[in-house]
C-alpha cells in the first residue's frame, strides 16, 4: 500500500463537494501514509517505531506547526481545527495492531477495524457535515476488506472477510455521505462469498457500482 490514493478512493474523492475535497483528501492521504509506514518496516519493531513517529507528530499539531513533511502540512492546512491532532493520532492505534508477527485474533481485528476504518469514516462524515448512524461499522467493514486484499495467505484473508461480513452497513446513504457510501458499496461487493476476489481497483465494474450508488444511495 503506497501513500497515494488507490483508484477507488480517487473516484470517490471526485464526488466530494469542492469545498470539502481538500480536507477529505488530506484525511485519506494520512491513512495511506500510515499504511506506507507499516509496509516499509521490514521488522515489526521498525514498523512500530515509524507508526509511533506519526502518532507523536500528529499529537504535536495541536500545539506546534507541522514539520517539513507533506502529509502533515496538508493535515494542518485542511483538517485542523475541524479535527484535532489528538483525534487523528488515534488512527495510528489501528495500524499498530498489524505490526506484529503473531496471528491476528478476533480482538486484534476488532481493534484494527474500529481505530482505522471506523474512525476514518466517522472523521470523513464530520468533514462532510452529516455524522449519521452506522458510519463506524461501514468503515470497519471497508477496512477489513482492505486488509483482506493485502493478506499474505488465503486463510488470513478469509478471517478478515468473515469479520467484515459481521459489520452491518447502512441500508441507504444520505446524499452528503455518498462518497463514503461508494466505498462501502465496494466493500459489500468484495465481501460477498459468491464473488471471487479480487477485482482490480478502478475496474469498469467497480466504477459502475460506485456511480450507481452515487445516484441511488444504495
Q: What is the CATH number of the domain that holds 13?
A: 1.10.600
- pLDDT of the residue at 2: 38
Measured distance CA(111)–CA(152) in Å, rounded: 20
| Domains held by the chain: number | 1
Residues of the chain with pLDDT under 70: 1-3, 41
Full-model pTM = 0.95
Measured distance CA(205)–CA(105) in Å, rounded: 33
Q: Does a structural domain hold residue 182?
A: yes
Q: Does a structural domain hold residue 188?
A: yes
Q: Does a structural domain hold residue 2?
A: no
Determine the Cα angle at 25 with ends 205 and 76, to 5°.
170
Domain region containing 28: 7-216
Q: Does a structural domain hold residue 208?
A: yes
Q: Does a structural domain hold residue 1?
A: no
Determine the Cα angle at 37 with ends 181 and 160, to 5°.
50
How many Å from the N-terminal Cα to the C-terminal Cα in the chain?
28
- pLDDT of the residue at 179: 97
Q: Does a structural domain hold residue 105?
A: yes
Measured distance CA(186)–CA(94) in Å, rounded: 21
CA atoms within 13 A on the CB side of 123: 31
- pLDDT of the residue at 189: 96
Q: Does a structural domain hold residue 162?
A: yes
Q: Does a structural domain hold residue 165?
A: yes
Amino acid at each position: 500500500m503506497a501513500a497515494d490514493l488507490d483508484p477507488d478512493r480517487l473516484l470517490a474523492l471526485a464526488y466530494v463537494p469542492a469545498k470539502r475535497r481538500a480536507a477529505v483528501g488530506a484525511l485519506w492521504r494520512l491513512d495511506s501514509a500510515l499504511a506506507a509506514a507499516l509496509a516499509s518496516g521490514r521488522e515489526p519493531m521498525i514498523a512500530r517505531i515509524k507508526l509511533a513517529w506519526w502518532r507523536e507528530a500528529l499529537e504535536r499539531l495541536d500545539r506546534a506547526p507541522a514539520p517539513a513533511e507533506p502529509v502533515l502540512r496538508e493535515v494542518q492546512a485542511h483538517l485542523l481545527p475541524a479535527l484535532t491532532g489528538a483525534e487523528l493520532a488515534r488512527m495510528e492505534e489501528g495500524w499498530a495492531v498489524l505490526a506484529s508477527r503473531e496471528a491476528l485474533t478476533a480482538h486484534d481485528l476488532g481493534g484494527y477495524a474500529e481505530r482505522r476504518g471506523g474512525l476514518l469514516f466517522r472523521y470523513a462524515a464530520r468533514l462532510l457535515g452529516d455524522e449519521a448512524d452506522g458510519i463506524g461499522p461501514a468503515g470497519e467493514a471497508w477496512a477489513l476488506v482492505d486488509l483482506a486484499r493485502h493478506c499474505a495467505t488465503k486463510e488470513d484473508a478469509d478471517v478478515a472477510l468473515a469479520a467484515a461480513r459481521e459489520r452491518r452497513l447502512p441500508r441507504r446513504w444520505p446524499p452528503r455521505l455518498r462518497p463514503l457510501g461508494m466505498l462501502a458499496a465496494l466493500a459489500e461487493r468484495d465481501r460477498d462469498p459468491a464473488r471471487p476476489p479480487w477485482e482490480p481497483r478502478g475496474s469498469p465494474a467497480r466504477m459502475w457500482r460506485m456511480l450507481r450508488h452515487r445516484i441511488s444511495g444504495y
